[in-house]
Amino acid sequence: MNKENEIRKLMSHGEKVFGDKSNFQIWLNLESKALGNITPKSLLETEEGIQLVNDELGRIEHGIFS
């Protein structure tokens, strides 16, 4: 699948997890301990990074915080 489609799916998932686009955007720009103290947004350049962010969203969605 191409990167643009993956990012669209990620954005939809993130908005669902955080309740709206604004809260998700804030989270994307905050350093994440679970992601190695970098911002989730900084990982969106590669498909692997997108998957890491999506995996973290899944953990948040299910109440599993690192």
pLDDT in the model for residue 1: 65
Task: Specify if 66 maps to a domain.
Answer: no
State which residues form the domain around 29.
3-61
Q: How many domains does the chain have?
A: 1
pTM of this structure: 0.91
Please give the DSSP secondary-structure letter assigned to residue 39. -
Please state, in angstroms and rounded to a whole number, the distance separating the CA atoms of residues 38 and 25.
Answer: 15
Q: What is the pLDDT of residues 15-30, one digit of tens each?
A: 999 999 999 999 999 9
Task: Specify if 31 maps to a domain.
Answer: yes
Q: What is the pLDDT of residues 1-16, one digit of tens each?
A: 688 999 999 999 999 9
Task: Specify if 40 maps to a domain.
Answer: yes
Please state, in angstroms and rounded to a whole number, the distance separating the CA atoms of residues 54 and 56.
Answer: 5
